[in-house]
């Protein structure tokens, strides 16, 4: 069965990269890059790879792209592409030296299951890097940000001809606990966590098996 987020990404696949660039004021690749500097060389899984926008910042590694939406993967320059979800990874134990995931965690059905799967497919000592959007820390900043995205994202959605999809993006920002809590326990050890972007609404996390 197709999950609602899959239908959303299938509909916006062709406009995804441009809109992402506009909404992040051109910063989305530098936020990915800051994360990928923590990845080891070797074989890396790009979890929720979408259109493969992370490929330039994963240079020199053997990259496997995984995503549940074939319409997104069809636009990807990554050669090794697999349709699948983070909650059930179709790879043997210890397959990867690193796992990278950018702007995906808010869309997962289960963060817990995905982290268990990431731990399983990483070799011992392997590293996972997660980059995603969240609400800023602190009640005032979070409220301001919530008001901002309630206005800006539907307008961007109207411009893109996809208002419902961008309302989903606004709502998804409140769907998970703050990363500082979410990664504090679990099968992977949190090694580093930083905030980026205006009001710190983007985070990067380094997790080691
Ligand atoms: C905002 S896009 C990010 C794409 C890409 N990582 C990037 O940096 O541009 C989110 C992606 O996560 C994928 N996704 C949604 N649910 C997923 C799941 N349960 N497991 C893996 N990927 C998922 C979507 O299909 C979509 O391509």
Nearest residue (by CA) to ligand 1, atom 8, is 102
Q: Closest Cα to residue 197, out of 23, 47, 56?
A: 23
Q: Closest Cα to residue 134, out of 126, 146, 121, 117?
A: 146
164-203 pLDDT tens trace: 888 888 999 999 999 999 999 999 999 999 999 999 999 9
The CATH number that applies at residue 54 is 3.40.50.150
**C-alpha–C-alpha distance, residues 94 and 178, integer Å:** 28
As for how many domains the chain has, the answer is 1
pLDDT of residue 6: 83
* Top mutation candidate among 22, 68, 118 for ligand 1, by most atoms within 8 Å of CB: 68
Cβ-contact 68, 84 below 8 angstroms: yes
Does the beta carbon of 103 lie inside 6 Å of ligand 1? Answer: yes
Judge whether residue 18 has pLDDT over 90.
no
Question: And the tokens for 168?
Answer: 């989903």
Tell me the residue range of the domain where 185 lies. 4-208
Percent of the chain's residues with pLDDT above 90? 79
Cβ-contact 180, 93 below 8 angstroms: no
Shortest-distance atom of ligand 1 to CA 48: 22
pTM of the model: 0.94
């Amino acid at each position: 069965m197709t999950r609602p987020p899959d239908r959303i990404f299938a509909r916006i696949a062709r406009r995804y990269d441009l809109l992402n660039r506009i909404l992040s004021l051109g910063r989305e690749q530098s936020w990915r890059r800051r994360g990928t500097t923590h990845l080891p060389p070797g074989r890396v899984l790009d979890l929720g790879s979408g259109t493969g926008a992370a490929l330039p910042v994963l240079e020199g590694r053997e990259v496997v792209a995984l995503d549940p939406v074939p319409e997104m993967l069809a636009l990807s320059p990554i050669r090794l592409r697999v349709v699948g979800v983070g909650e059930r990874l179709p790879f043997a134990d210890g397959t990867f030296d690193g796992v990278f995931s950018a702007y995906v965690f808010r869309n997962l059905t289960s963060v817990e299951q995905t982290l268990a799967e990431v731990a399983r497919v990483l070799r011992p000592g392997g590293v996972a890097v997660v980059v995603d959007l969240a609400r800023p820390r602190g009640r005032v900043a979070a409220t301001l940000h919530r008001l901002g995205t309630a206005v800006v994202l539907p307008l961007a959605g109207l411009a893109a001809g996809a208002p419902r999809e961008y309302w989903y993006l606004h709502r998804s920002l409140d769907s998970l606990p703050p990363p500082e809590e979410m990664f504090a326990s679990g099968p992977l050890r949190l090694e580093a966590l930083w905030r980026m972007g205006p009001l710190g609404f983007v985070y990067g996390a380094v997790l080691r098996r």
